Each structure stands twice: as C-alpha cells, then as structure tokens.
Amino acid sequence: MRMTGYPPIEEHAVIGDLRTVALVATDGTIDWYCPQRFDGASVFASLLDAERGGSFRIHCPDSRAKQLYLPDSNVLMTRFLAPQAVGEVVDFMVPVDSDVTESPHAVVRQARAVRGRAEFSLRCHPRFDYGRASHTVTIVDGQGAVFDSPVGSLTLRTAIPLASDGTGVTATFALDMGQSADVVLEWNTPIRPLVDGEAEQLFNRTLTYWQNWLRRSRYHGRWREMVNRSALVLKLLVYRPTGALVAAPTTSLPEELGGIRNWDYRYTWIRDAAFTIYALMTLGFTDEAAAFMDWLEQRCQEAPGDKGLHVLYSVDGNADLDEIVLEHLRGYRDSKPVRIGNGAAGQLQLDIYGELMDSVYLYNKLAAPISFQLWEALSRQLDWLAKHWEEPDEGIWETRGGRQRFTYSALMTWVAFERACRISRQRGLPGPTNEWKEYAGRAYRFVQTAAWDPVRGAYMEHPGSSRLDASLLCMPLVKFAGPTDPRFLSTLDRFGEELVSDSLVRRYAADGSDGLHGDEGTFNLCSFWYVEALTRAGRVAEARLVFEKMLTYANHVGLYAEEIGPSGEALGNFPQAFTHLALISAALHLDRALG
C-alpha cells in the first residue's frame, strides 16, 4: 500500500498509445492501466483500491516531485528533487500508428540521474482483472520478470536486478549523473533482454510522432499552450484501431467523495465523440474525423430500423455494456460503488442525433464530402427520429429519475433536421427535405412555446419544470438562437444568478429530481460553454475573466477532470473529453472576439 494513500485526482498526468492509457501520479506511481484497450480489465488500479488494485512505482525517496510533459508531446517527465541529487523518470507509450514496425502494448519508463548520485526505488505489483485473478511471479536474471495469470501476462523487461516479494517485484538502484536505467512493461509477450538503446529509440520515435502530429494544428492565437494540450488529450482518447473516441479513460472516479455518482466512462458516446470531432476539425485535425465517420457509418448500418442508435458503444462497436459493481474494490477514497459497464447504454437520449448531424455537417463542409452510403444510413436514422422525437427521454445528463420531454433534446432535434436540410441542399443529396423542414419547425416551436417561462424569463429544463438547465447554453452555439436574442440573453442572466458561482457552472440544481442522492461538483463543460455564450453575446471582458479563472483549475500539466469540487479539487473521471473540447471551442471564439 502506498504511504501517501490516494493522491488527489488532479495529481495525475496521462500517457497513451491510441489504444489505452496509463495514469501516472506525481509520486511516480502508475495507479491506473488497462492493457490493450481503454475498456479492458485493469492490471494497475490502486486509484480505486490502494491495497487490492495494483500499482507500479519508480521514484527517488525523500525528494520533492515535479511533473511536466516534454514540449508538444504526450511524453511525461517526473522530476525528483533531492537535497544532493536530481532524478527523472520519463514515461511514455508508443502510439500504434507511429512508424514503429511493431507496436506492442508497452509502457516505457526511463530513470535518469541529471544531478549528483540519484537513488531510485522500484516496486511493481500488478493485480489482474481488476484484482480478481491470481498470478505468479518469475524473475529471469538479467532480463526482468514475468507475471502470469489466467487472463494474460505482463513482462517487465529490464537489466535492473529485481527481487520478488511474493506477488510483485522490487528494486533499489543508484545512478550517477548522466546514467540511465530502462524498464519496458509489455502485455502478453515473451521475455527477452532489453537491448542497449532500445528504449531510447522508442523514446525518440514517440516524441517525434507527437510533435509532428501537433504541427498540423492551425491554431496560433492566445492560450495556444492550453489549446494544444487539450488537443493532445483528445488525441489520446482515440482508439486508433476503429476510430472511436472515449469520453474518459477511467471508471468510477466520484463526482462527490463518498457519493454514488461513480460511472464508467471508457466508452464512445455518440454525443461526446461528435463534439470531440468538431473540436479537432476546427484545429485542422481531419484524419481523426474521417476515421470516426467510418466508425459511425458502421453503427448506423448496424442499427435496426425500429430502434435507432444506442447512446454509447464500446470502442469496437459493441452496445451490450451491462453495468455491474465490483464489490471487492473500495473505490477512490472509499467512494463506492466501483462500476464497470454503463447502464446508460439502454437509455433513450434523443439529443444524440442533433450532435451527430451537426458533426457530419461540419465534416462535410470543412474536411471532405461524406459518402452516399453514410448519407443513406443517416437518412434512416432521421426516419426513426421523426417517429420518436416527441417522446420523453433521459436527456443529455442521463438522469435516472424518469423520462421527461427535455428542452435540450427538442433543441437537438431541430439541429438534426436543420443540418440534414443544409447537407442535402449543399450537396444535392436526395432526401425528404420538406418533411425535415416540418419536423425542424415543430421542434423549434416546441422550445419557444412549451419550454419558455415568461415569468422566470428563461428556457426551462422541460415544460412545467422550475429548474434551469445549463445545457441550453448551447442555443447560440448551434445557431438555434442569435447570441443577442432577448430570450437567450434573459436566460443567460438567469444562469448567472442561479447556476454560476464565480467562474463555475452547475448543470442544474441538485434537488434530487435526477433520481440520484447526494451532490456533485460544478461541471467544467458547462463552465466553458458559459464562456462561449458570454463571448457570443458581446460580453467579452466578462468572458475573458471567467475563462482565465477556469484555466486556474487545470492541474499542473493542463488537464481537467469532469467536475470541480467545493475546494477547487478535481472530481469525476479524468481526463474528460467534454471539458477539453469545450475549452478549445471557447478559446477559439474568445480569441477571435478579442481580435
């Protein structure tokens, strides 16, 4: 068990290979890692149970730690500052689509002494299958160690002399200034000696890959470093083999310490992926958008005509994501339950068609013409939406308190049919545009009549509700309302009075009507949407101050979780795509407004 217990969520950075990621704490511990794919079973999960989860730590004892990414990359450096020495651990994973001929599922860790004689400690204790599978340890002199379990094996390749302590291995070693020692942790590969220079070659290729990728960005405005970091995070959340994008690479990090709002986000939400593609396209990263369009076309082709799309899928397109509780894990700081799978997969969330069609429209406009096959598949989805858009649903926030006719879902219904009409008109693609215009008009009128409360002077969460909903900050973002439309400006004022605290925005009042007990933090996505809404409304000075304040809530390497807690701490899964894509969009619009 780590002497420090559970580090704060924000005390982490992330590395990845475009298939999965590892979270690395500032004390040099990998405390979350699922080999092969984002939603695979963990081998390191001490973030969710310090005793049973498993971890892999390399650090310099009795030192202070600092952490940074190497410039324009996802290569991480953790520096250990001791009184008489400075040691560094460089962590990375080799991207699957780099120029490396064979790209194994590997985590590379390089220990270096940069000043004095640095003392290092190594401790690797995997726990296979979320800690449910036993394993054996075999040390091979001069080559490393092999951890074997019924579900797979880990090979720790290193020349560092290792000792077994039962279920793991340990080592202490010293390096003089300029010396280094390498460790390569691989999944399901035979052990073999680590060749001199092998890790350094992987390091150079990985660093070059990330720096070359980021050079494609078209953004050169203010806050470029934060925008670039957000783009690099979003790229890490792409599952390269299929083009899918996950909402976050972790599960069950709590939205309230000790609460029950702990969810598994290691899946592809149609909504989140569509927003992510929009953010990457605006920066010039169209390859990721093209890969996602291929993935999306497959989901549309597979969807039964009488059911429509699922809300979320696994990275390979599977929609059977039963939500189960891992009772044997204590949860982050005793925040149970720990869940894998997500019951929201069976929900009805009608808004996804709006986000989907908006991203397709923008891809067709900014990247490349969509294929006729995709257009046909999307048209079938619009046929389904036409029959069901007036039904109550669970909405964007995936409430578990019963279905309602959420205003945001109607707003996005308008987006879906309006964008379909635009694509058809611009490309000459066939479709029942008169019918689509009618459905768009009906959805528009529903929002303006049933959802508008003239007494409150605001659009409400759903007709008859007394609750505000920050998702409606999207109205000018999707061109539903002009940014200075009197009704929207009035709604914006109500948000400022009731949902905004300084720069932080709540999704809605925590009154229990979402079917869940307890509270949650403020929602970073909504905070950055608020910045963009203020910007578009002409309140640029206010927007800039809110934006600058929000930047202070990023962690030490520029990453955000889903929410911000009462003391400014990170809450929820980490890092979260929603937050970083909204940061990019807010920065672009605010920079443009500032001129």
User: How does the average pLDDT of the chain come out, rounded?
Assistant: 94
Q: What is the rounded CA–CA span in Å between residue 212 and residue 68? A: 19
Does the predicted TM-score (pTM) go above 0.85?
yes
Nearest CA among 548, 546, 572 for reference residue 560 = 572
Instruction: Kindly report, residue by residue over 473-505, the tens digit of the pLDDT.
Output: 999 999 999 999 999 999 999 999 999 999 999
Nearest CA among 508, 443, 434, 439 for reference residue 475 = 443
Question: If you average pLDDT over residues 207-235, what whole number do you get?
Answer: 97
- DSSP secondary structure, 275-339, as one string: HHHHHHHHHT-HHHHHHHHHHHHHHHHHS-TTT---SEE-TTS------EE-TT---GGG-PPPE
- pLDDT of 99 reads 45
- pLDDT of 101 reads 43
- pLDDT of 524 reads 97
Instruction: Kindly report, residue by residue over 149-185, the tens digit of the pLDDT.
Output: 999 999 999 999 999 998 999 999 999 999 999 999 9
Query: Is the pLDDT at 303 greater than 90, yes or no?
Result: no
Note whether 413 and 448 are within 8 A (CB): no
- pLDDT of 242 reads 94
- Which region among 103-107, 168-172, 228-232, 288-292 has the lowest average model confidence (pLDDT)? 103-107
Question: If you average pLDDT over residues 316-335, what whole number do you get?
Answer: 95
The amino acid at residue 95 is P
The dihedral through the CA atoms of 356, 357, 362, 363 has a sign that is: positive
pLDDT band (50, 70, 90) for residue 2? very low
pLDDT band (50, 70, 90) for residue 102? low
Question: If you average pLDDT over residues 235-259, what whole number do you get?
Answer: 95
- pLDDT of 187 reads 95
Contacts of 234 (CB under 8 A, 6+ apart): 245, 276, 279, 280, 577, 580, 581, 584
Note whether 182 and 194 are within 8 A (CB): yes
Instruction: Kindly report, residue by residue over 529-569, the tens digit of the pLDDT.
Output: 999 999 999 999 999 999 999 999 999 999 999 999 999 99
Note whether 334 and 358 are within 8 A (CB): no
- pLDDT of 3 reads 39
Q: What is the rounded CA–CA span in Å between residue 323 and residue 43? A: 20
Query: Is the pLDDT at 68 greater than 90, yes or no?
Result: yes
- Which region among 205-209, 290-294, 494-498 has the lowest average model confidence (pLDDT)? 290-294
Instruction: Kindly report, residue by residue over 416-465, the tens digit of the pLDDT.
Output: 999 999 999 999 999 999 999 999 999 999 999 999 999 999 999 999 99
Question: If you average pLDDT over residues 220-239, what whole number do you get?
Answer: 97
Query: Is the pLDDT at 515 greater than 60, yes or no?
Result: no
Q: How many CA atoms lie within 13 A of 138 on its CB side?
A: 9
Query: Is the pLDDT at 71 greater than 70, yes or no?
Result: yes
Q: What is the rounded CA–CA span in Å between residue 216 and residue 177? A: 37
Number of Cβ atoms within 10 Å of the Cβ of 426: 12
Query: Is the pLDDT at 1 greater than 70, yes or no?
Result: no
